[in-house]
Structure 1
Amino acid sequence: MTRFISLNHILSTLLFLISLTTVAQETSYEDGKSYILGGLEVTGLESYNEQTVKTYTGLRVGQPITLPGEQISEVIKKLWGLELFSEIEFYITNIEDNNVFLELNIIERPTLTNVTFYGVKKGKIEGLIKDTDLKKGKKITESLISNSKNYITNKYKKQGYLNAQVNIATAKDTSETNAQSMVVNVKKGDKVKIREIVFEGNEELKDKKLRKALKNTKEKKFGRFWKKSKYIQEDYKEDLGLLVDKFAENGFRDARVISDSVVKVDENNIDLHIKVEEGDKYYFGDIDFVGNTVYTDRQLNQVLGIKKGDTYNGVLLRERIADNSKPDPSDVTSLYQNNGYLFSTINPVEISAANDTIDFEIRIIEGKETFLNHVTVSGNDKTNDHVIYRELRTRPGQKYNKSDIIRSIRELGQLGFFDAEQITPDVLNANPNDGTVDLAWSLVESGSSQIELQGGYGGGGFIGTLGLSFSNFSIQNLFKGEKYKPVPMGDGQTFALRLQASRTFRVYSLNFSEPWLGGKKPVRFNLSVSRTQQFAASYGGTNGITVNKDQQFSITGVTAGLAKRVQWPDDFFTISHSLGYQLYDFRNYNIGLFNFGNGKANSLAYTFGISRNSQGPSRIFPTSGSTFELTGKFTPPYSLFSDKDFKALKERSEELTELQAERRSLGQTLTASEVKELENSDQERFRLLEYYKIKFKGDWYTTLVDKLVLRSNAEFGFLGSYNSDIGDVPFERFFVGGDGLGNFTLDGRDVVQLRGYDNQALTPVDPITGEQDGGLIYNKFSLELRYPLTLKPSASIYGLAFLEGGNSFNNFQEFNPFQLKRSAGVGLRIFMPAFGLLGIDFGYGFDEDLRPQSAGQGPSGWQTHFIIGQQF
């Protein structure tokens, strides 16, 4: 039975049925005859109510009806539209006087109860059911089966399974009325690979160059992992267009693909044969600009960058006019749009092609200068409007500027309050006559508060951190109960409380930051207060590590700073100043570099920094730009104003330290007077700490292909002294190696990550004490490939592979920037708004570390590093 029954079919059916009835009446059906509907019976129903079907037909007993006529046809079409029935037939069962009695016979379609897949991984079944709509209760139709089969087959063909076969069978399910179950059997087979791509007709461009132009269609080649050699028809057709573009880039404007064919080699391999026609090679002739008044021909030619006599390149010409592949291209269209001419149009037109030279006119309609009328923001449920508007480069009344919009996207993304992937500026109410547009910013809030849970092994034990960080805090609403959601939020301030501890140390810290001090200019104010306690520990024995809390030293510190965004050399630069004070208090702590076990040391230091941050657009997964920071930390040169004989104090201290190390090797100790003398000499030298500390760190982000990003990193640090008679301070040193955890501000040290080695294992050994007491200079380089698996607001996940090298040294005389401890490995990062960054790295160290016990032991080997709560 076909879905739509023609009027002729109805006529012939009615004539046949009436001829079989016992009612002998002479009736003409040429023009139809009017009756009164005397009765309607519905037969064949299994799961539907008869009265419901009668009501749906719209036919009522007692109503006039013409047979044959449009009424019956419309009812049949209406019932077919439900897609619930496989057959629909009307019969005349009786005619009495002028009353006609009809029977509607229906065969219901079966209902799908369940579907079973074979040949498909369990994790993929749910997706296939959703895509094909093979859900329970669905009516089984021929089109449902056919469409499902075609969809699944094409899905696997798109993945390179050209020999994929799908069979669908149904069987009666007796557990329910008029129900059937379905079995889908999928045989994917092996992926069909491209063995060879053969070109014919190309004379100027070599096969290798043409194969490279095919972006997603590649030959089988050992070692290729980024682009597979599977054949996908849609990608192949798109690549043929890129092939023509490759010819156009090299002057062959008329090149075309004459034919292409797929040749089956065997079940798993095919060859592609592509026949091309290159045509003649062309060159650019005269290029004239028409209609330009805002910019001169010379200015436009500088942007266009194409000269007379250059090889014709149609792709380059299109990109120099309007490059849609980049957010901030350097092209003629952007030149106009960055100066307010949103409604400008630029069209290159060939005006002559004599011999091998093509002359062009670049026809420009500049339009009216465009200004922003209304600028609105939506989606900021937590963040106050003023926090957003102060970061926007788009203000009402300003000229429309495309680069300002792109910069605003970056600035909003760097705040960390919004999902960078969903920051959308919509141009609305564009009016070319008035030269005005509205700009609507659509934002999606992401979590800006974090519970910091950081853990790792270092210093002989587990290091744990628990903290609360609110990066969109509002201190002015601190005493307004209705603003707690769950804490006062929305003003873009940072407030953090942090506790970090292990068996050997404890750190308490409080940090507050206001990015726009006074609310008028981007001047950041920072205040931090911290308290650190370090306990003496001995290693070895049955207990592993023994902690003595009667031997300790503490650091109490406070630091305040200001950082201002400047306009020169560009407005990515920031100049920062900070002043910090630390009090070092020793109590019976005769360990390591600290030769005075009882006493105090004071550090008052000014830090000056220059930084530039253009990375973006996302703070979590930057794809472009760079960030670098150069800082110098300086204390006053107290020794210039002192008459102490620091040289004699240093010489005596070094003499006693060497003697102490010698006696320890013999199982002996210094006498009480010698210990006292050593303590006093170091106490005098370091009561007022004087030093300078220079650090540099730079990161560069480059998008290679698709979403694959290369992060390049370089770091350098140096700790120096003003007065060689005093010597290098025992604080503020560099400890290199491991996961970078344990940066707990103990004695101002910098803990530098270098994966593939144990924590701090690349810290040099002090020649006098024989201990790893921190380096005075270090450098580090790394390359890291990153690829995102998902960048959703709930969780951003990316994988990485890295190469690293670095080292630390005791002085500049030993320093060699090329004497690197090398490593390589892979890792994974997960960023969740509530918990920050989580990750794991597997690194292989190719060299020995610097620990004395590692001498002659060979490479460091494989190391596992857990990255919890670190920077990006």
Structure 2
Amino acid sequence: MKLLLNIKKENDDLGKQVNNLAKIIASSTYIKNCLALLFIIFSLSLQAQDISYDDGKKYTLGGISVSGNTSFSDQTIVTYSGLRKGKEITIPGEDISTAIKKLWNSKLFSDIELYISKIEGNTAYLEIRLSDLPQLNDLKINGVKKSKVEGIINDNKLKKGVKVTENLITTTKNFLETKYKKQGFLNSKVYINTIDVKDSVQTARVNMVVNIDKGEKVKIKNIVFNGNEVLKSKKLRKAMKSTKKINRLRILKRSKFIDSAYQADLGHIIDAYKENGYRDARILSDSVIVNNDKTISLQIDVIEGEQYKFGDITFIGNTVYTNDQLTRMLRIRKGDTYNGVLLEKRIADPSKPDALDITNLYQNNGYLFSTINPVEVSAKDNVIDMEVRIVEGKPAYFNNVSVSGNDKTNDHVIYREIRTRPGQLYSKANVVRTIRELGQLGFFDAQELTPDIKNPNPNEGTVDIDYVVKETGSSQIELQGGYGGGGFIGTLGLSFNNFSIKDIFKKEAYKPIPMGDGQKLALRLQASRFFQTYSFSFSEPWLGGKRPVQFSTSLSHTKQFLFNPITRDADKSRRFNITGLSIGLAKRLSVPDDYFTLSQAIGYQHYDLKNYNTGLFTFGDGSSNNLSYTVGLSRNNTSVDPIYPTAGSNFGITAKVSVPYSLFSDVDYTALKLEREGLSEVLSDANNSDAVRTAASTRISEIDQERYKWLEFYKVNFKGDWYTQVFSNSKLVLKPSIEFGFLGAYNNDRGVIPFERFYLGGDGLGNFALDGREVIALRGYPNQSLSDQDGGTIYNKFSLELRYPITLAASAKIFALTFIEGGASYNSFRDYNPFNINRSAGVGVRIFMPAFGLLGIDFGHGFDPLPGQTVKNGWETHFIIGQQF
């Protein structure tokens, strides 16, 4: 039996060379005889048997047999080879090498041999002997967390049944080592072993064991600069944003060496020099030194050069804007220290889409196709003269404006928020504002909103734009139960934030509810043995569909029963009912700018008490009415994501006022006040009999019933939040906030009402807010513990939060925070001191899921004692539901 060709998996390249030699020998009789001997020796190097090659002689293929360790049928292998019985072939020749090549390229076999089994006259019989590549039977990955295993399997395609080749093993090893080195594990090693599976199954199979040794993250012991005199090493180290040396006091930026981040930081060092006028600064060399304690040191040699200043700056090609206008926008003067980084940002700042730069000046006014290039024309005596060369191009107009990706939200809801219209002059500012407005709707994933500029045509001056949206769940359900106040409390809340009331009677629209018109509908039921609350609210953001005028209405009813200590159950003969109704309009303004909103509302609450003497009110029988008008002015220009804003501000001031009934009433409130003060002295005098004190108490209740038949008050609230990125392009956000509230009376003799007051402290959840009270959060203290039992008439609060996102995916947005805050509640301006506050600090986390809203937990430490105590309050845990801080 003569071996014609043999290819094994470890000699793939050699096999290709053998094939090429075979082709040459088969096609050239002259060189065939010259290389026959070399070809035989070369074949022997592939562990072949002895073989002699005749001159290329033609044979008829009499048959092909298959042998070896393979699970494929003979017919399949012969078909792969391209050989067939009865075919005339040349031995040795192109047919043989082509057959081997086809089998090898199938990537199913580890080694292939082709033999002449016998020759009968002009008929040759061949045998193909081969072995299958082993399949992956079982995979074990050691050295990483279980949660990471699935990712490694998917990234490297290590599914069961995959063919295990040397290339698969090598690429998997290289991929993992490179991955961990990028994460700072410079000494990571990956070892991969395969073990043959011995069982009754004929298919070649192996088990693979991947051992990952990440080692410790390599930390940077020191960063040493040589050659720097103008900029101190401390300043240069500060310029390196991600590469930091070991500092146990640093929390936000840990020391670790990641080569890609280090290379970027070398560029930041040069930028630091450019910002100080040293435009010729260069890094001569940098080296990594391995220390004995398994840390590294970085040595960076720089050359600083000389300092430059700006000289003459001229503008060329500008016709739309004058030189003076562009100079004011550039904000760089002759004689200023040269700052290359600042110059680039004033021309075009890529980190801020709405930056105040020359590029945006043009693009906000239609010149989409404009180009602005600053060019140095002279650097004599370290003074750099510059030309800002401008090609303005044609003004661009929007041709087609479209939206894609919305399956539930109706087109008109999106188009009414879009500030770009077909035929309108292009404005980058309007594109950026549109993205913000769409994100603020809450119907789309704010992180995925994309303006897709299409078909820009500089010659025609037209451009198309497609706003690509990705819808998220906009409805929420609240279903909870628990024990509190001596009994079980159940809550069912439904909030539909993209409702369509016009489809409410269309059966086919219930999927599961009518959606798509951007309206909000909320229903909430809460009940226990001691109270029942029902509420309904609805809002339409574009009343009439023409203008951004929001209409809202709400209706609520609450029943509260007094606890009977004898039966330990609710006494339904002693109750307190509240019925409330409100109607409001909110209009988006155009001045001072279109971020302002003016809101107005009329509300009415009816309070009905029957034998409800708890101390919460000064009377236990009777009723009270609250008819009020609320007007508010707010401005919200926060960035795209309403859950995690990264820039902008949100402030609002509201005034809630009632009718000044005392101006029209013939009641002598001065006399009532004096009478009440006298009766209060009777009550406080222990020498008076019970009958006298009871009569005094009854008369006080009658007086208060008269005073509060119609509530008379005015109330002012202010709240402001600001959002700032700590570092440029980072998602670490600083959020300072300030709040203030004041409740006053028109008539001092009538006094401040016992309703509508402020209760400070705790998580801010306003359960049992029966009397119109406002519950203000101040973490680190128990709920409502920082106000008197009757509440305060003044409060202020200051807070500072540092936020960092863990994930901002549409399915769940999660961010961590740390905070410091302080606040206090006061009974009058005589007591008011904005600096005498209760202070706290702590950490927390927020989770927003579309179906459940915002959830969170805070751990706050109160540094001051509660009113009436002398020891600081200490740690408190707060659970947050449905609020944003």
Among 622, 639, 645, the residue aligned to 2:645: 622
- Bigger drift between 55-64 and 388-397 goes to 55-64
Give the partner amino acid of 1:849.
L
CA drift at 1:101: 2.7
TM-score of the pair, normalised by structure 2? 0.92
**Shift, 1:49, TM fit:** 1.7
Which residue number corresponds to residue 824 of structure 2? 807
2:5 match: none
- How far is the alpha carbon of 1:513 from its aligned partner? 0.8
Deviation at 1:535, TM superposition (A): 2.8
SS in structure 2 at match of 1:847: strand
Partner Cα distance (2:50, 2:560) in 1: 111
Number of paired residues?
853
Q: Deviations over 1:246-280 (max 9, x none)?
A: 22222222221111111111252111111111122
**Amino acid corresponding to residue 54 of structure 2 in structure 1:** T
Point out the more displaced range, 320-329 or 630-639: 320-329
Q: Which residue of 1 aligns with 2:305?
A: 279
- Taking the TM superposition and a 5 Å limit, the aligned residue runs for 1:562-577 are 562-577=585-600
Residue in 1 that maps onto 2:724: 702
Between stretches 460-469 and 413-422, larger displacement belongs to 460-469
Q: Which amino acid aligns with 1:423?
A: L
Q: How many angstroms apart in 1 are the aligned matches of 2:480 and 2:42?
A: 85
Q: 1:403 to 1:794 in 2, by over 3 A?
A: same
* Deviation (angstroms), 1:538: 7.5
Q: 1:835 aligns with which of 845, 852, 869?
A: 852
* Contact kept in structure 2, 1:18 and 1:92, CA below 8 Å: no
User: What is the deviation of 1:132?
Assistant: 2.3
- What amino acid maps onto 1:346 in structure 2? I
Shift, 1:17, TM fit: 12
Q: Does residue 438 of the first structure (1) align with residue 464 of the second (2)?
A: yes
Q: Deviations over 1:557-605 (max 9, x none)?
A: 1111111110111101011111111111111122225232211111111
Q: 1:522 to 1:509 in 2, by over 3 A?
A: same
Alignment of 1:645-724 (within 5 A): 645-657=668-680, 659-660=682-683, 671-705=693-727, 706-724=730-748
Which of 327, 330, 334 is the matching residue for 1:308? 334
Separation in structure 2 between the aligned mates of residue 669 and residue 567 of structure 1, nearest angstrom: 65
Aligned-partner Cα distance in 2 for 1:760–1:457? 20
Map of 1:553 onto structure 2: 576
Which residue pairs with 1:408 in the alignment?
434
User: Offset of 1:661 from its aligned partner?
Assistant: 5.5
Q: Do the aligned partners of residues 502 and 301 (structure 1) sit closer, same or farther apart at CA in structure 2, a change above 3 Å counting?
A: farther
Contact 1:524–1:564 under 8 Å retained in 2: yes
Alignment of 1:531-610 (within 5 A): 531-537=557-563, 547-610=570-633
Structure 1 residues 138 and 601: CA distance shift in structure 2, 3 A: same
Residue 5 of structure 1, aligned match among 13, 16, 31: 16
TM-score (norm 1): 0.93
Deviates more, 1:225-234 or 1:115-124: 115-124
Contact 1:527 1:559 in 2 (8 A): yes
C-alpha contact 1:454 1:868 (8 A) present in aligned 2: no
Match of 1:773 in 2: 790
- Counterpart code for 1:95: I
- The answer to whether the aligner puts 1:150 opposite 2:174 as a matched pair is yes
Partner of 1:768: none
Does 1:420 find its partner at 2:446? Answer: yes
Give the 3-state SS of the residue equivalent to 1:5 in structure 2.
Answer: helix
Structure with more relative contact order (C-alpha pairs < 8 Å, separation 6 or more): 1
CA displacement at 1:828 relative to structure 2: 1.4
In 1: Cα distance, 2:472 partner to 2:579 partner: 35
Aligned match for 2:216, one of 190, 195, 208: 190
Q: How does 1:170-249 map to 2 (within 5 A)?
A: 170-175=194-199, 176=201, 177-249=203-275
1:317-374 per-residue CA deviation (whole Å, 9 max, x = no partner) reads 2212111112211211111111111111111122222131222211111111100011
Give yes or no for the alignment of 1:783 onto 2:800: yes
Name the SS for the 1:616 alignment partner: coil
Cα drift, residue 427 of structure 1: 0.7
How far apart, in 2, do the equivalents of 1:717 and 1:795 lie?
34
**2:679/2:696 contact within 8 Å kept:** yes
- Between 1:529-538 and 1:469-478, the stretch displaced more is 529-538
Partner of residue 87, structure 1: 111
Bigger CA drift: 246-255 or 83-92? Answer: 83-92
The residue matched to 1:54 in structure 2 has which SS? Answer: helix
Q: 1:365 aligns with which of 378, 391, 415?
A: 391
What is residue 878 of structure 2 aligned with on the other side?
Answer: 865
* Structure 1 contact 660–669 (Cα < 8 Å) conserved: no
1:159 matched to 2:183? The reply is yes
Coordinate RMSD, CA, aligned:
2.6
Q: Distance in 1 between matches of 2:762 and 2:681?
A: 30
Contact conserved, 1:454 with 1:869, CA < 8 A, in 2? no
Partners in 2 of 1:161 and 1:18 — Cα distance? Answer: 45
| Alpha-carbon offset, residue 375 of structure 1 | 0.7
Partner Cα separation in structure 1 for residue 78 and residue 691 of structure 2: 109
Aligned AA (1:309): G
CA shift digits 1:720-756 (9 cap, x unpaired):
0000111111111111111111255411110111111
1:600-624 C-alpha deviation (Å, 9 max, x unpaired): 1111111111111111211111111
Q: Residues 150 and 556 from structure 1, CA distance in 2 versus in 1: closer, same or farther, beyond 3 angstroms?
A: same
- Could you tell me how far apart the structure 1 residues matched to 2:293 and 2:90 are? 62
Judging changes above 3 Å, is the alpha-carbon distance between structure 1 residues 662 and 446 closer, same or farther for their aligned structure 2 residues? farther
- DSSP 3-state at the match of 1:846: strand
Separation (CA, whole Å) in 2 of partners of 1:179 and 1:15? 34
* Alpha-carbon separation, structure 2, partners of 1:142 and 1:753: 62
For residue 256 of structure 1, the aligned residue among 275, 279, 282 is 282
Pair 24,331 (structure 1): closer, same or farther in 2 beyond 3 Å = closer
- Does the CA-based 8 Å contact 1:650-1:685 persist in structure 2? no
Task: Please tell me the residue identity of whatever aligns with 1:797.
Answer: I
Per the alignment, do residues 241 and 68 of structure 1 end up closer, same or farther by CA in structure 2, a change over 3 Å counting?
farther
The aligned runs of 1:419-498 (5 Å cut-off) are 419-453=445-479, 465-498=491-524
Q: Is the 8 A contact 1:346 1:364 kept in 2?
A: yes
Q: Measure the CA separation in 2 of the matches of 1:738 and 1:757.
A: 5
Could you tell me the percent identity over the aligned residues? 58
Q: 3-state DSSP class of the match of 2:159?
A: coil
Secondary structure in structure 2 of the residue aligned to 1:594: coil
Letter in 2 for 1:550: S
Q: Is this contact kept in 2: 1:515–1:522, CA < 8 A? A: yes
Deviations 1:521-550 (A, max 9, x none): 1111111111122333478x9x9x864332
Letter in 2 for 1:207: S
CA contact (8 A) 1:191 1:268 kept: no
Greater mean alpha carbon deviation, residues 680-689 or residues 43-52 = 43-52
Q: Report the equivalent of 2:354.
A: 328
